[in-house]
Amino acid sequence: MSALVNEPAGLTPETLAELREIAARYPEARSGLLPMLHLVQSAEGRVTPEGIEACAEILDISAAEVSGVATFYTMYKRKPVGDYLVGVCTNTLCAVMGGDEIFTRLKDHLDVGNDETTVDGKVTLEHIECNAACDYAPVMMVNWEFMDNMTPQSATALVDDLRAGTEVTSTRGPRICTWREAERVLAGFPDGRVDEGPSAGHASLVGLSIARERGWTAPTGEADEQSTSDDPRSDSGAHPAADTKQGAADQADDKQVEQAAVEDSNSSSEPAAEKDEAK
Ligand code: FES
């Protein structure tokens, strides 16, 4: 189904100046390509041919090289994206915990398929791979902000709120901005929301809490060293006799190599006539 997504109006002089600003942040300008492509998406709603040409020109590389990067990473979009990029994790753990059901429900509810945008241009739906948040499965993302422990009901309520313009916050705290605004942050232009929400959620810290309750600590480097040297399976001197034998064998090998090198050198420095005579 076609969507009412605004077509890009072209890169403005301000955006071109910001692209150059990003490139200038790096000792090797081409290292700035990834954030530059995010800025193009912020300005144009997708990676456009014009954006590719601009990046190539600023970085003095070919458009094919820029295009190769833009088509390799799934965060770069060649089709217009709606105001909210809604991802549903359908990797193994989230899938069995309800991710597949959520994705099916949202496709029906929004009347779109994977990587398609609603007719009002508000929501682009896509299934995504593991976001390393399996302890909160099933997980969704809106413009790269986490939505944890989702259900088909909470997922449909979420997209309804997004389409209605109701303020939505991630289950971890931050307010959800538009996709273009989020892309600008990924380009390295902060929006001041970095401190909204916790840096790690409860489920991710359960193991740490249990360890503290039980007095478990991580082994120190010193203890590791000691236990390695005590380990009869280690290579570090637990078997002196074996090590001595191995050392002697190594020395013998070294001598053989040296002798072969000397013989080789002697034979190669032999005058050609002498070699012929020897034959
Ligand atoms: S499987 Fe969904 S976040 Fe890991």
Render pLDDT for 48-85 as a digit per residue (tens, 0 to 9).
999 999 999 999 999 999 999 999 999 999 999 999 99
Distance 263 CA to ligand 1 centre (A): 63
Distance CA 74, CA 95 (A): 20
* 116-117, strands of its sheet edge to edge: 116-117, 123-128, 84-89, 140-142, 145-147
- The strand pair at 84-89 and 116-117 is best described as unpaired
* Ligand 1 atom closest to the CA of 131, numbered from 1: 3
* Ligand 1 atom closest to the CA of 89, numbered from 1: 2
Distance CA 37, CA 54 (A): 10
Distance CA 232, CA 239 (A): 7
Question: Closest Cα to residue 106, out of 142, 146, 55?
Answer: 142
Q: Please report the pLDDT score of residue 215 as a whole number.
A: 95
pLDDT (tens digit, 9 = 90+) per residue, 187-225? 999 988 877 876 677 888 899 999 999 999 988 877 555
Around ligand 1, the residues with Cβ closer than 6 Å are 89, 91-94, 130-131, 133-134, 137, 139
Ligand 1 binding pocket mutation candidate from 88, 134, 150 (most atoms within 8 A of CB): 134
Distance 144 CA to ligand 1 centre (A): 14
Q: Please report the pLDDT score of residue 140 as a whole number.
A: 97
Residue 22 CB neighbours (<10 A):
24
Distance CA 273, CA 279 (A): 10
Which residue, chain included where needed, has tokens 């072209």?
Answer: 10
Distance 169 CA to ligand 1 centre (A): 20
* Ligand 1 atom closest to the CA of 136, numbered from 1: 3
> How many C-alpha atoms does 18 have within 13 Å on its Cβ side?
20
Report the SS3 class of residue 85. Answer: strand
pLDDT > 90 fraction of the chain, expressed in percent and rounded: 65
Distance 247 CA to ligand 1 centre (A): 50
Distance 129 CA to ligand 1 centre (A): 7
CA 37, 88, 46: angle at the middle one, nearest 5?
A: 20
DSSP state of 218: P
Q: Please report the pLDDT score of residue 39 as a whole number.
A: 98
* Ligand 1 atom closest to the CA of 92, numbered from 1: 1
DSSP state of 175: B
Name 92's Cβ contacts closer than 8 Å, sequence gap at least 6: 130
Q: Which residue has the higher pLDDT, 239 or 44?
A: 44
